[in-house]
Structure 1
């Protein structure tokens, strides 16, 4: 028998073994010709497994001629086929079931939060009595909307509007400039751009801060109303007054802080490079803090 030439000899393009070096099963799975048309069955199986990445339904094709491999599986028994069908159904419906569970959990959490908030604002007995007098369907729709309305209320950023008016008319009231300082005129535009971007709701941290602040507001309002307005007989009125007091005080402090940050940003300076500098952070900090703040 004549020996096969190099072009006729089977050569695996995965492990690079020839038919003389291996007794494994060979297969020609695609249209490739020459030395790359043959491959070991087991080598091809491993290569297909790497391409499918545990997803047996993924189609795999030859990387050279783009021919899709024909994969044949041995038939299942009926019981095994039934189990696999059930597994596929569960796998396909799991994302939808997960979504329903998450939405349901959020709904019942919002419903519970709304009920607790009503009893917290009106008082435990008054809150229960008020909810018992309301239609159940109205409660199922109204109570979950309480946390939603609180979060939407946080989107009303009235402090920013007050700050804009303040910065626009502060020159007319010299006393305000003396109390809180005066920004450097040349850097006002850059400072406003910087400080505006800090409270962007696209920032995940800012979003969580807004969410937590909205949900904790009824508790803070109840506590403040109880201690600052003990003579008010109605629990509801106490909570409203406490909430308004907290929002106003928090807004004033926030406005003051933002204005101080704004002034500090406008008075920022870059120091000259000093070749004899010892790179001591404390000395640099002392130099930066010694920069005067302009006041009217």
Structure 2
């Protein structure tokens, strides 16, 4: 009587299913494992390899139990699939440079468009178009983008701080109460612009909107000027002067208030010292 050894039931070590769960599934034994862990579904093995390789078809993958390295053989690709695969590799390599080029090109053409709009706004719509049509295209491509750059750089110059310093030196004594001028120098000890933080968004928006504000102020204050360019230039100068005067006025008021507080606090301290001295004299006379 012959005894036949029963084979162990197949268990997939990926999905933990048995051969009874799916009779039509294809089973493989790709490594040196024995027992129930040697079997795995073909579909589960392919899915597990894809997860391990993470898109790198040439990456080496080994069995987690016995350490056997899997030798993966792909079917021969047709010319179309091979061509598409090479195109995909080339695109994946040049995509970062292409993205940088798109961003730089977008910023450049935005600056060109803004420069053209600013020229038409400052000079006039019809005259601006005529000037740009007659100009050299290379000059326009190089000159128009510099308009927003110059506006932003001009906005970053803190010219009003120097104006405040000059007015504090020569015009502050007449506006302060008697005896308070000697305390004014204590206010800007940390610098005139110490409390003002340079905001990138504020500087950028203020610089880009300045031509529109200059054109609007010029139309309101200088209507009799025949040239649109003259009106815009005078409007820009008037707006800058008004802004500087207002800023100087507010800084002067802050200095006056701070100096007045210093003057009010000074007699109190001196009075306290005198009172303490008087109390000590009284105590000494009483002891005598």
Question: What is the match of residue 173 of structure 2?
Answer: 173
Question: What is the match of residue 145 of structure 2?
Answer: 144
Where 1:175 maps in the other structure, the secondary structure is coil
How many corresponding residue pairs?
Answer: 248
Question: What is the match of residue 226 of structure 1?
Answer: 219
Which of the pair has the greater relative contact order for Cα pairs under 8 Å at 6+ separation? Answer: 1
Contact residue 62 and residue 68 of structure 2 kept, 8 A: yes
For residue 28 of structure 2, the aligned residue among 22, 25, 28 is 25
Q: Distance in 1 between matches of 2:231 and 2:18?
A: 89
Contact residue 61 and residue 69 of structure 1 kept, 8 A: yes
Tell me how far 1:242 sits from its aligned partner: 1.0
TM-score norm. by structure 1 comes to 0.60
Trace 1:136-215 onto structure 2 (pairs within 5 A). 136-162=137-163, 165=165, 173=173, 175=175, 195-196=195-196, 198-199=197-198, 206-215=199-208
Tell me how far 1:260 sits from its aligned partner: 7.8
Contact residue 53 and residue 61 of structure 2 kept, 8 A: no
After superposition, the CA RMSD in angstroms is 5.0
Q: Distance in 2 between matches of 1:38 and 1:162?
A: 86
Tell me how far 1:263 sits from its aligned partner: 10
Tell me how far 1:220 sits from its aligned partner: 0.9
Tell me how far 1:96 sits from its aligned partner: 3.1
Q: Which has the larger radius of gyration?
A: 2
Unaligned runs of 5+ in 1: 5-9, 200-205, 267-292
Q: 1:109 to 1:191 in 2, by over 3 A?
A: closer
Question: What is the match of residue 117 of structure 2?
Answer: 116
Residues 1:216 and 2:209 are matched in the alignment: yes
Q: 1:104 to 1:192 in 2, by over 3 A?
A: closer
Tell me how far 1:98 sits from its aligned partner: 3.5
Q: Distance in 2 between matches of 1:191 and 1:146?
A: 29
